[in-house]
Chains A and B, each alone.
Chain A
């Protein structure tokens, strides 16, 4: 207990001295975020300083072991750090798929050499990673992926195509699922491999979505040579790693639903746009009751997120329940955005122009349509709930 108090004071003092003032303001947009990487152009000297200092301390990955560049903090200390950062409204020093996804996988499945080689640059923000999972023919049925990885004696040779690779065009390295065995059952012939996006034969092409620009890319591999020591875990057993990572991803997407309790709800937005009657009720009573339903569900959902966190703290893993959060959160968010669009009527349709911040709302509305597809569709989540939680049998294939 005393140690924790000492840690808190120490942390507070360190942040006071080391967090630049301009990094103590909330981010205005995604352009204020720092993703790091070889080609990263810092938005300011402060952004660079903040990343360097936090990275050196290992606090971009507070709970990773010190020997791999992490902060070496225990759960209580990490909680204190998070609280102290929040207190001064510090921006995250680094946003990183390496920290969120690859790191946890390497810590669990990687070799000692791989951990030593790859983890420290992630912590410092020196290498930016992307994730190569989906393929044109392997979406919901991810395990049917076909990107070929052949053993050429002293190296692997990779040929194929990935799609929906977030930030592929800006990333330095990729963690990728490839097929190493065509004869085994589909889940048992997949491997998890890492390689440099600057390798010969790698090319990327950005994808434009219905909402406009997007971080997504198509990624092509044409005779890409990969050193053999860059395969993670056991050959042909990469699916275990993929599943482990997908659970993380689902929690992230399901948790990003923004119906914050106590914040400005859709109802208020609608009242300011459309007006209220003498009782203070939204003039459009049919819309009002739809919004009320969405708000009730939004609150109950947020309470469920909170409960899941509390249960996890109390030692009950959430496991397949992350599928429930992902399913409900993304479907709810689609409903919420439909109602926000309705609340703003014709003005919600503005695509370009200052009043709408170049169509921020309609673009977000369109973007939510993808939330129930990426990271496993709603239908796949319902399959997982049926099988893993309810114990219902697989459909019989005739």
Chain B
């Protein structure tokens, strides 16, 4: 498959760009932050996105979605990254929608139409420590009647505050550190025994610490087989990783373009600073790196669309490379803007914070480089 976008994709991209620039420019995100919005995103704006079909972009038509394909979702995320749009798109429409593909018919009927309509926001309750490490999961899922009883706590649950549903990885057997013995559950966000606390991170998004105190779930809420939860969750995590790579590519591209324009305007020593070779070569290097990220993101999107169950290596490539280069782009932006780049008035810091968080979520560079190396046999 050629590594270029189809006409359909180009049209979607243009539409997304237009919509986001009008409805969700960076000033909107800044306002959410300044007003300390408890949710970290606008439900109203999310509804509008849902009406455009975005919330159900990966949901099959029979459940009210567009079934447009993953490349389209990645393109939307790239544009969202450009304007720092805050929405539950990644959590709900990309990660949860992918995980539910492997769920029972009842689960699909219960959740997918509500994801597609934007009515339900679903968050992934996965991490328990400070580094992405799914096998380390120790939350307990104990057999209880026909169902399970969940006990433990999850941290840094992205879009977890006020979530209508939680995708939960819990241990039904074995010990923390083992890949086997984990099970994946779809839990109602309002289930008895759940309690939520807000976690304020530097990127001003919605994160929750969620504790589970004898939360009862039915056997029907299990996605896939008991004990095979990690394998069940793998495609959804890869969708999230590629999505984050696309979002970071959007953030980094915006940083780079803004900085390049600034280099053509800002004068020091009687000339525009963009005429200095010291800055030119760094810009040209960053341009080259961004070209590599773009290729990896497109390829990852296409491969995931074709074969979501075997997308681990390409997802790791995209996530690692995008994270590395986006961090470089953010750092170069602040450095090249100089003193004003350090001020809160400019957007550079907002991009730097978003990128910092995104490169950490679902595995940082070292995590994915390690995975990549294992796949490559060393």
Contact = CB atoms under 8 A, between A and B. Distances in A.
9 contacts: A280-B374, A281-B374, A292-B372, A304-B294, A324-B284, A328-B291, A383-B280, A389-B284, A395-B275
A235 interface: no
B376 A265 contact: yes
B295 A328 contact: no
Given A281-B374, A306-B3, A386-B284, A296 B274 contact: no
B2 interface: yes
B374 A328 contact: no
B376 A295 contact: yes
A324 B275 contact: no
A40 interface: no
Interface of A: 265, 267-268, 270-271, 276, 280-282, 288-289, 291-293, 295-297, 299-301, 303-304, 306-307, 310-311, 313-314, 321, 324, 327-328, 379, 381-383, 385-386, 389-396
Given A303-B3, A306-B3, A392 B274 contact: yes
A289 B366 contact: yes
B372 A296 contact: yes
A382 B292 contact: no
B50 to A, nearest CB: 32
A265 to B, nearest CB: 5
A270 B372 CA distance: 15
A271 B264 CA distance: 48
A304 B287 contact: no
Q: Which of B271, B277, B292 has most A Cβ within 10 Å?
A: B292
Contacts of A392: 260, 263-264, 274-275, 280, 283
A293 B324 CA distance: 10
A386 B283 contact: yes
B293 A300 contact: yes
Contact of B284 (A296, A385, A396): A385
A280 B377 CA distance: 7
B369 interface: yes
Contact of A306 (B276, B291, B295, B372): B295
Contacts of B154: none
Interface string B269-282: 01110111100110
A74 B349 CA distance: 53
Contacts of A293: 369
A310 B317 contact: no
A300 B295 contact: yes
A91 to B, nearest CB: 29
A261 to B, nearest CB: 10
Given A303-B299, A304-B295, A390-B283, A310 B4 contact: yes
A282 B3 CA distance: 33
Contact of B369 (A292, A379, A391): A292
Given A300-B295, A385-B284, A390-B287, 6 more contacts: A268-B378, A282-B378, A292-B370, A306-B295, A392-B275, A395-B276
